[in-house]
Amino acid sequence: MSNTLITIDGPSGVGKTTIGKRLASELNFEFFSSGLLYRVIALHMEKTNSLNLNEFEIISNDPVVCKVNENVYKEKNLYTPEINTKSSEIAQLSEVRIIVSNVLQFMFKNSNIGLVVEGRDMGSVVFKNAHLKIYLDASEAVRSERRIAQSDNKESVEDLRARDSRDINRKISPLVIADDAIVINNENKSIDEVIKIIKENLKLQ
C-alpha cells in the first residue's frame, strides 16, 4: 500500500499552508505546496520569456528550490504581487497543469513517508485516490485580512478577488470541492480545532 496522502484544497488565503505544515509536522509527514510550482513556472516565463519546461526538477523541498533548464528558482523569491497574478494566469494553460501534475505524482511516488499536499485541484484532479481530502473555506473578507497580515505576501482584496475568480472560472481543473472531500469552514476556528477535525477524519479512513 502506498504512503498516506492528505490533500488540502481551497481558495487563496484560507490557511492551507499554515494548516498543512502543522498537520504534516504532527504526523511526521512531508508537506508540499503545489502553488509553488506554478510560481516557479511564472518566474521562469518572466525571466526567459518562454514556456520551455523540458527539464523541471525539485532540488530541495524545504525551502523549495527548483531547477528548470539550468535556471535555479528559490522559494524566497516566489511570493511577490507580480508572481501572485502571473502564477494564476499561467495556471490556466493545460501544458503547464500537466507538467505540475506529473512532477507532483513523481514526487509522491518516490517519497518514503506520508505527504500533505495543498493547492486548488489536489483532491479533485491530481490525487483522486488520496486517503483523505480536505476542502478549507472562509469568507473573502477573512481571507484577505489573513493575507494582508502575512508580511511576505501582501495582497489587496481586489487582487485576491481577481485571482480567485481566475482559479474558480478557468476551463481546466478549476477550484472545485471534490465529491469525497471533507469541507471545513475555518472562519471561526483556531488552527488547533481544524487540525483536530482533520486528525479525527484521518482515523475514520
Residue 124 CB-density burial (10 A; 0-12 exposed, 13-18 middle, 19+ buried):
buried
Q: What would the grid cell of residue 131 be?
A: 486517503
- 123 lies in the binding site for ligand DC (CB under 6 A): no
Considering only 19, 24, 88, 182, the residue that binds ligand DC (CB under 6 A) is: 88
Site map 145..184 versus ligand DC, x via CB under 6 A: ------------------x---x-----------------
- 31-39, 43-51, 65-73, 142-150 -> range binding ligand DC (CB under 6 A): 31-39
- 86 lies in the binding site for ligand DC (CB under 6 A): no
User: Rounded CA gap, 20 and 26, in Å?
Assistant: 10
Geometric angle at alpha carbon 91, from 163 and 87, rounded to 5°: 60
Considering only 10, 15, 20, 119, the residue that binds ligand DC (CB under 6 A) is: 119
CB of 67 to ligand DC, least distance (A): 19
Torsion, CA 9, CA 15, CA 21, CA 24, rounded to 10: -50
Alpha helices, DSSP H only, in 2-74? 16-27, 35-48
Q: Which of 199, 158, 148, 160 is nearest to 10 (CA)?
A: 160
- 186 lies in the binding site for ligand DC (CB under 6 A): no
- 48-56, 60-68, 83-91, 197-205 -> range binding ligand DC (CB under 6 A): 83-91
Q: What would the grid cell of residue 70 be?
A: 539550468
Site map 51..80 versus ligand DC, x via CB under 6 A: ------------------------------
- 7 lies in the binding site for ligand DC (CB under 6 A): no
Query: Helix 16-27 and helix 191-204: axis angle, to 10°?
Result: 60
CB of 108 to ligand DC, least distance (A): 14
Contact indicator for 73, 66 with CB cutoff of 8 Å: yes
Chain positions contacting ligand DC, by CB under 6 A: 12, 33-35, 38-39, 87-88, 91, 119-122, 163, 167
